[in-house]
Amino acid sequence: MTMTDEPIGHALEVRAQPLLPMAPEEAGQVMRAYQETCRAVLTRDDVQRVGDREFTKRSGFQKLAAAYGVSTEIVSIKTSWERVVDEDGESQVLIARAVVRATHPTGRHAEGDGTCSAREKRFRRGGEKIDHDLPATAVTRATNRAVSNLIAFGTVSAEEAEGSLGTGGPVAAAPLPDWAAPMNDIPGVANNIVRVLQAAGVPDPAGRANAIGQEIFDLCDGAFPFALARLAKLLADAAVPVDAETGEVLTASDLEVEGAVITTNEKEEDA
């Protein structure tokens, strides 16, 4: 072993260290900053209703990308005839597939994929410039997804939802009830789970929150249902009350809930 060689035990110890998320307070700040940015730059024209839900459109993701200084580039694009089998039997369908990379000035990047099929409802009417619109729509969906993966926590875009959620797209799906709809505020949910675990005195609350979140994702096909996210919020607020405006944790002296907590002033009077 030379003087520059690293001890094997030390190398193994470094590699064995778990990956931990940012501190709950930082995660909350990131989410609040994103929500405030959305309120500042997005308008009603940047939102589209698909089924019973609203989704951000291409214009909205372009505004968010500009606000964050994000640039995009096409990694690949391909249009080809593909074999499709469904309840109507087997057929050859023209499908465009694209991959786009979104890059932040810090160098962090994320890729998104998008597809567009000639079987989608708007192409069945005829008269569409399908040679142009198929790949263009695929690129739009891939761009939205790449930007979303990088800065918007994986939020589904209107263009993607329009092609897949019950409007004649290749992956039509029955609408979910509101309580089962996927929750997009994953950092906020993680923060609430950590707060509950910290209040319960559980060791390594961040690591346990990761494990709990992963188990929910596995059980729910890669989503976190709204009802469970709401439950985490209610439990967190009950266990560790926070100020609704500042997001700061409230202490016993801050609380003046009659019959529930004796405030500092009341304690002094009793003394």
pLDDT, averaged per 10 consecutive residues of the chain (271 residues), comes to 54 58 80 84 84 81 92 96 80 92 94 89 70 91 90 74 51 59 78 87 87 81 80 85 60 46 40 43
Do both 95 and 190 map to the same domain? no
Asked if residue 132 is part of any domain, the answer here is yes
Please check whether residue 164 is in contact with residue 171, taking contact to mean a CB–CB distance below 8 angstroms: yes
Same domain flag for 146 and 28: yes
pLDDT at 237: 83
β-strands 89-103, 71-86 pairing: antiparallel
* 8 Å CB contact between 135 and 143: no
**65 and 140 belong to one structural domain:** yes
pLDDT, position 75: 97
pLDDT at 9: 54
Q: Do residues 116 and 168 touch, judged by C-beta distance below 8 A? A: no
How many domains is the chain partitioned into structurally? 2
Confidence at residue 166, expressed as pLDDT on a 0 to 100 scale:
41
Q: What is the DSSP letter of 104?
A: -
Instruction: Decide: 56 and 155 in contact? Cβ < 8 Å.
Output: yes
Write down which residue in 143, 175, 207 finishes a domain: 175
Please say which residue of 115, 146, 175 terminates a domain: 175
143: in domain? yes
Amino acid at 158: A
**What is the pLDDT, as a whole number, of residue 170?**
38
Residue 254 has a pLDDT of 47
**Segments forming the whole domain that contains residue 232:** 186-270
The CA-based diameter of the chain, rounded to the nearest angstrom, is: 84
pLDDT digits (tens, 9 = 90+) for 126-159: 656 888 889 999 999 999 999 988 887 667 777 7
pTM of the model: 0.52
Q: Are residues 62 and 95 in the same domain?
A: yes
Give the pLDDT confidence score for residue 107 in this predicted structure: 93
Which one of 155, 175, 195 terminates a domain?
A: 175
Shared domain check, 208 and 78: no
Decide if 196 contacts 213 (C-beta within 8 A).
no
Q: How far apart (Å, rounded) are the C-alpha atoms in residues 201 and 59?
A: 45
Q: In which element (H, E) is residue 46 found?
A: none
Task: Give pLDDT tens digits for 52-98.
Answer: 677 888 898 899 999 999 999 999 999 999 988 777 778 888 999 99
Q: What is the DSSP letter of 157?
A: B
Distances, alpha carbon 141 to alpha carbons 62, 65, 128, 135, 181, in Å: 12, 14, 18, 10, 21
Q: What share of the chain is helix, strand, coil (3-state, %, to 5)?
A: 50, 20, 35
